[in-house]
Structure 1
Amino acid sequence: MNSLVKKYNIPGPRYTSYPTVPFWNQDHFSKNKWIKSLNKSFKSTNLTEGISIYIHLPYCESLCTFCGCHKYITKRHEVEQPYIDAVLKEWQLYLDLLVEKPIIKELHLGGGTPTFFNSSALKRLIDSIFVVAGKHANLEMSFEGHPNNTTQKHLQTLYDLGFTRVSFGVQDYDEKVQKAIHRVQSFSKVEEVTKTARAIGYQSISHDIIYGLPFQTLNSIEDTIKKTSQLNPDRISFYSYAHVPWIKGNGQRGFKDTDIPKDDEKRLLYETGRNMLQSHDYYEIGMDHFSKTSDNLYKSFKNNTLHRNFMGYTPFKTTVMIGLGASAIADCETAFAQNEKNITAYLKRIENNELPVVKGHILLGEDVILRHAISDIICKFKTNLSNVYSIIPEDVLMKRLSEFLKDDLIIINNDQLTVTDLGKTFVRNICMAFDEYLIKNQPKTQLFSMTI
């Protein structure tokens, strides 16, 4: 394994989309093309699948220096009402475009820090969304909560609105690591919000843990996972720290590059954490995710219904996902669209009754085929290659996959590619063999974090 990690630990995408955002074709994209693609997908799937809604709530009271998300740091809570107003106005702009009443199957609040907003503001947001939308019979709603400011009132209010899943950002319990990443929170606080959520009735509680953080040691990762297992969350996301200061600027410069575990040291953190999670009965689901067998994420994986989009892994597929809020990304199978990232500019566009989409990508036929192959690999650990050969000739693809075959990371039988248990660690690398944009347009500068 040591030699394989050294061999394959290279910069690579996380494949929340294909094509990945750096390779979106802006010349071929327009807002009108996005609206046309959206309506086509919406009309054919709304009444059967329903749609997903992602709402980006970007405010945080303090800057966590590990974070790669789009956020705005402030302690001024008077920003809450005008931002909620803008999101609801954006929702109305979409409603004016759609041909029928949307049926919502999935809704997720991300950030930023959704629990920056007080519970009454969140209630107004959700109530207003559903005034003009139907609820799917299998509706699932979830939110991301900061352990330090997620109150019992937050948890109860959102549960009463229909939220059944919550994710808490833990990252690491070591005080030195917490100070370096500016995310100081005690185990007792995480324990309190986890137990409160469980007592209220949340069906799925998730904890996020990151390996490769500055000053992180083998002892700290072992201690973090040991404490996490005591709280028995239903899901655990075990992410590699994405050090991308060339994208996020000073937000990831609160420590020196030499403070970050690298190479063999980081590999050991990953392998130790992964082995510990599995020893505590967490089953590996796709990339970076583990769940108990009782959780619906595991059940969807076993049933081959696991789906991945800009909200992460979800237990079912919705073809249409509408993104609301600054920087939010929307998806309709044949097109992606991203909102204005700058909050002031976002609010101004909404004030002018303008859909705040500023970039995107219209998928070509070959994009759709390769997107499905990559999605299958990261959701099912397998894919059929027969359709792929129409885009990438078989001899070319086999050459790209030859090292994975030689290293027993994949097996291919009757055009069926299956990722082995050993290969699960290197899923991002395997997907890169199908990424025509990455292969044909090798970036001259580093765009992506390391794969491991």
Structure 2
Amino acid sequence: MHTLIQKYNVPGPRYTSYPTVPFWDETTFSEAAWTTNLNRAFKATNNTKGISLYVHLPYCESLCTFCGCTKRITKNHRVEEPYIDALLAEWDLYCNLLPSRPRLAELHFGGGTPSFFAPEQLRRLLTGLFRRADPTDMPDYGWEGHPNNTTAEHLDVLYTFGFRRISFGVQDYDPTVQKAIHRIQPAENVRYITEQARSIGYTSVSHDLVFGLPFQTPESIEDTIYKTLVLNPDRIAFYSYAHVPWIKGNGQRGFRDEDLPSGEQKRVLYETGRDLLEEAGYVEIGMDHFARPHDPLYQALQNGTVHRNFMGYTTTQTQVLIGLGASSIGDVWSAFAQNEKEVDAYTTRVMAGKLPLLRGHMLDEQDQFLRRQILNIMCQGKTSWHLGRWSKGEWARLAERLEAFRLDGLLDYDAEGLRVRAEGRPFLRNICMAFDERLNHAQLNARMAQPRLFSQTV
């Protein structure tokens, strides 16, 4: 394993989409093309499957130095009202474009810190969203809360609107690690709010943990996992820390590089946590996610319906995902569109009555085919194909890349498809990179190669 980690610990995408954002071709994208594709997908699937809606709430009161999300740091809560106004104005723009009333199968609030917003502001937001939409018969609604500022009133407001999933950002319980990442939260806070969520009626409570943080050791990871198991969350996201300070600037420089574990040490941290979680009855799903057998995410894995998109792993797959808020990304399978990333630019455009689109990508036939292969591998650890889909040259290049993984005992493949072995699960991102024609093309062209676009795969 030591040799394999050295070999495969390279910069690589996390594949919440294909093509990945740095390789979008913006020359073919336009607002007209986006709305045309959106309406086509909406007409085909809204009545049968409904749509997904992601709402980005970017505000945080303090900066966590491990965070790579788009956020705005402030203690000024007067920003809440105008931002909610902008979200509802953007939703109105979309609803005015659509041919009928949306049915919300999936709704997720992410951040930033959604619990930064007062419960009455979240109530106002949800009231506005559902003024122009209806839930499907079996909706899947979830949101992200900070253990230090989520209240029973927060939980109750969202529960009233159909939310049954909540994920709490725990990260790590070790005081030294917490100080380094500027995320101080006592275990008692996590326990209290977890118990509150369950008492209100949330049926899927998730804790987000991170491995690879500064000063972490196998012993500290064990302690964090043990403290987590006492609370028995239904899901656990055990994320790899993505160290990308060249993208996020000084926000990820609250510690020195030498304080971070090496690739080999990071793998030990993951395997320590994974083994403890599996011994406790959790099942690994895709990459970095675990669930108990009663949880819908595990059930989706068993029946082959688990999905991965810009919100991570989900149990719901719709043809339409609309993203509201600064930096949010929409997805209609044949097209992606991302909003303005800066809050001020986003709100200015929306309040002027314009969709706040920053960039996008129109997926051609090859993009869609490769996207399906990568999605299958990330979700199920296997994929199938028709060999005739590739030209002889394309197949020769793919087979050459796959052969290296086969010789290392990480996967099996033939003319029908591919299956990742248990030994290959730590290298899912690397295996998907073999299919990433846009990334491979860029790496072949020295002028386009950008090796610091992504975090390390291990």
TM beyond 0.5: yes
Secondary structure of the corresponding residue to residue 449 of structure 1: coil
Residue in structure 2 matched with residue 340 of structure 1 by the alignment:
340
1:161 Cα offset (Å): 1.6
Does the CA contact (< 8 Å) of 1:373 and 1:388 recur in 2?
A: no
Within a 5 Å distance, the mapping from 1:257-406 to structure 2 comes to 257-386=257-386, 389-390=389-390, 393-406=394-407
Equivalent residue for 1:428? 429
Task: Compute the displacement of 1:37 (Å).
Answer: 1.0
- Please give the per-residue CA displacement for 1:243-275, whole angstroms capped at 9, x wherever unaligned: 000000010011111111112221211111111
- Report deviation, 1:3: 2.0
1:72 aligns to what? 72
Once the two structures are TM-superposed, the CA of residue 396 in structure 1 deviates from its matched residue by 2.1
SS at match of 1:105: strand
Distance 1:385 1:423 in 2: 20
Q: Which residue of structure 1 aligns with residue 99 of structure 2? A: 99
How far has the Cα of 1:124 moved from its partner? 1.0
What does residue 183 of structure 1 align with? 183
Q: Please give the TM-score of this superposition, normalised by the length of structure 1.
A: 0.98
* Aligned AA (1:423): G
Code of the aligned partner of 2:432: C
Contact 1:211/1:240, CA 8 A, preserved across alignment = yes
- Alignment partner of 1:450 out of 438, 446, 456: 456
Q: 1:162 to 1:387 in 2, by over 3 A?
A: farther
2:294 counterpart letter in structure 1: S
Size of the alignment, in residue pairs?
452
Which letter does structure 2 place at the counterpart of 1:446?
A: R
Give the corresponding residue for 1:57.
57
Q: Distance in 2 between matches of 1:63 and 1:423?
A: 35
| Structure 2 letter corresponding to 1:430 | I
Query: Aligned residue for 2:446?
Result: none
Q: Secondary structure, in 3 states, of the residue corresponding to 1:169?
A: strand
**What is aligned with 2:411?**
410
CA deviations over 1:402-434 (Å, ceiling 9, x no partner): 011112211125512111111111110110000
Q: Is the 8 A contact 2:11 2:451 kept in 1?
A: no
Aligned to 1:441, the other structure's residue is in SS state helix
TM-score normalised per structure 2: 0.97
CA distance in 2, matches of 1:449, 1:387: 32
Counterpart amino acid of residue 88 in structure 1: L
Conservation of the 8 A alpha-carbon contact between 1:57 and 1:113: yes
Q: Deviation at 1:444?
A: 3.4
Q: What is the deviation of 1:195?
A: 1.0
Letter matched to residue 451 of structure 1? T
Quick one: which amino acid aligns to residue 5 of structure 1?
Answer: I
Q: Following TM superposition, by how much is the alpha carbon of 1:282 offset from its aligned partner in structure 2, in angstroms?
A: 0.8
Partner SS, residue 62 of structure 1: coil
Match in the other structure for 1:222: 222
Q: Please, which moves more after superposition, 142-151 or 391-400? A: 391-400
Conserved? CA contact 1:59–1:73, under 8 Å = yes
Opposite residue 209 of structure 1, the aligned amino acid is L
Using the alignment, how far apart are the partners of 2:301 and 2:73 within structure 1?
37
* Aligned position for 1:158: 158
**Range with bigger deviation, 264-273 or 71-80:** 264-273
Change (3 A) 1:309 1:387: farther
Deviation at 1:2, TM superposition (A): 2.3
- Please list the CA deviations of residues 100-142 of structure 1 after superposition, one character each: whole Å capped at 9, or x if unmatched: 1111100000000000001111011111101111211111110
Cα distance between partner residues in 1 of 2:451 and 2:430: 18
Percent identity between the two aligned chains: 56
SS of equivalent residue, structure 1 residue 52: strand
Matches within 5 A, 1:191-230: 191-230=191-230
Q: Name the structure 1 match of 2:32.
A: 32
Segments of 4+ moved more than 3 angstroms: none
Aligned equivalents of 1:176 and 1:45: distance in 2?
49
- Distance in 1, Cα, partners of 2:437 & 2:163: 39
* Paired AA for residue 99 in structure 1: P
Give how far 1:187 is off.
0.8
| 1:7 alignment partner AA | K
Superposed CA offset, 1:316-351 (max 9, x none): 211100000011000000000000011111111012
The answer for the alignment partner of 1:84 in structure 2 is: 84
The aligned amino acid for 1:450 is: Q
1:149 paired with 2:155, answer no
Q: Which amino acid aligns with 1:246?
A: W
- Note if contact 1:244-1:449 (Cα within 8 Å) is conserved in structure 2: yes
Whether contact under 8 Å (1:383, 1:416) holds in the other structure is yes
Residues 369, 387 of structure 1: 8 Å contact kept: no
Structure 2 Cα separation of the partners of residues 66 and 113 of structure 1: 14
| Unpaired segments ≥5 residues, structure 1 | none
Q: Matched residues in 2 for 1:356 and 1:193: separation? A: 35
Amino acid at match of 2:453: L
Letter in 2 for 1:234: D
Q: CA deviation at 1:393?
A: 2.9
Instruction: Measure how far apart 1:26 and its partner are.
Output: 1.1
Structure 1 distance, partners of 2:73, 2:85, is: 19
Structure 2 gap ranges (5+): 444-448
CA distance in 1, matches of 2:372, 2:359: 22
Once residues 150 and 368 of structure 2 are traced to their aligned partners in structure 1, the CA distance between those partners, rounded to angstroms, is 39
Indicate the SS of the match to 1:42.
helix
Distance between the aligned counterparts of 2:163 and 2:451, measured in 1?
Answer: 42
Going from structure 1 to structure 2, the CA distance change for 1:317 and 1:223 (only over 3 Å counts) comes to: same
Secondary structure of 1:27's counterpart equals helix
Q: Shift in Å at residue 6 of structure 1?
A: 1.9
Q: Is the 8 A contact 1:56 1:109 kept in 2?
A: yes
Q: Deviations over 1:150-204 (max 9, x none)?
A: 0111111111221100000011001111011000001111011111111111010
